[in-house]
Amino acid sequence: MNASLLQLEKVTIRFGGLTAVCELDLQIGAHELVGLIGPNGAGKTTAFNLITGVYQPTGGTIFFQGQPTANLKPHQLTRRGIARTFQNIRLFASMSVFDNVRAAVQLHRPHGIRDALWRGRGFRDGEKAVETQVMELLEIFKLGRFRAANARSLPYGEQRRLEIVRALATQPKLLLLDEPAAGMNPTEKLELTRLIRFIKDKFQIAVLLVEHDMQVVMGICERVAVLDYGVKIAEGTPAELRANPKVIEAYLGAEAR
């Protein structure tokens, strides 16, 4: 295998008569920031669901770190290093901000049910370490002051940020962001752009970004793939895409009009 972290080979999924994603080829390197764009219903979220194991492809293969991911469940893929956020925020509604992140830390901990009951020394130290780890993450992303608040009571932008923090708590190698800028005002968007760059550098991970806001995508992505009706119609640097007539027609044109 080559050095790519994630590789999609002719990945297809059909829902009844609808081909939501069609023979998609896509590669992401270990520290790359790649964009995935396309009009509504183009299959972007479906591509995420395929990569994270929510759906199994009807055709083609997905490799993560050189291993095929067929038949792996979402939680197993997260364990291997794929984390994601959701287009419609899916925080744990009955938990605090702190506990949302804490729940995500569980997967790398050796402590299971027996320790939770016996509560020996190792367990207590472990729980303390988790607390520190969660607080650190929250502080980095300026959510520390909300730690005790219910997750769903946060302002919208903060909820999106918390979802990113929660995904990072699983210690991913690849982070999938599904429209993180949706519903944000221009200032928040600018901040988000900085945040994504910061995450990529600080945590040394790859990011695949689905986003409708062209400024965000073109501003930070090194490479962008364009989907239309499930088919990849173009791929290249932001500059290349701006000059591509197919892309302009399918997507950018709609905005320019």
Q: Hey, what are 214's tokens?
A: 């062209």
Q: Hey, what are 256's tokens?
A: 């320019």
Q: Is 144 in the site for other proteins (CB under 8 A)?
A: no
CB 13 within 8 Å of CB 60? no
Q: Is 142 in the site for other proteins (CB under 8 A)?
A: no
Amino acid identity, position 17: G
175 alpha carbon, distance to own chain's centre: 4
**Strand pairing of 59-64 and 174-178?**
unpaired
Tell me which residue of 248, 233, 235 sits closest to 208, measured CA to CA. 235
Residue number with CB closer to other proteins (27 or 52): 52
Tell me which residue of 187, 246, 247, 245 sits closest to 216, measured CA to CA. 187
Q: Is 134 in the site for other proteins (CB under 8 A)?
A: yes
| Residue 83's binding partner out of ligand ATP, other proteins, Mg ion, none, with CB under 5 to 8 Å set by partner kind | other proteins
Residue number with CB closer to ligand ATP (87 or 150): 87
Tokens 């490479």 identify what position? 223
| Residue 46's binding partner out of ligand ATP, other proteins, Mg ion, none, with CB under 5 to 8 Å set by partner kind | ligand ATP
Task: Give the nearest distance from C-beta 35 to other proteins in angstroms.
Answer: 21
Q: Is 93 in the site for other proteins (CB under 8 A)?
A: yes
Which residues on adjacent β-strands are paired with residue 8? 26, 62
Residue number with CB closer to ligand ATP (47 or 199): 47
CB 19 within 8 Å of CB 42? no
Residues that bind ligand ATP (CB under 6 A): 15, 18, 20, 38, 40-46, 87
Applying CB under 8 A, the site for other proteins has a residue count of 49
Pairwise CA distance, residues 142 & 82, whole Å: 24
Residue number with CB closer to other proteins (105 or 192): 105
Q: Which residues bind other proteins (CB under 8 A)?
A: 52, 54, 73-75, 78-79, 83-84, 86, 90-96, 98-99, 102-107, 109, 111-113, 115-117, 119, 123-124, 126-127, 130-131, 134-135, 147-150, 166-167, 169-170
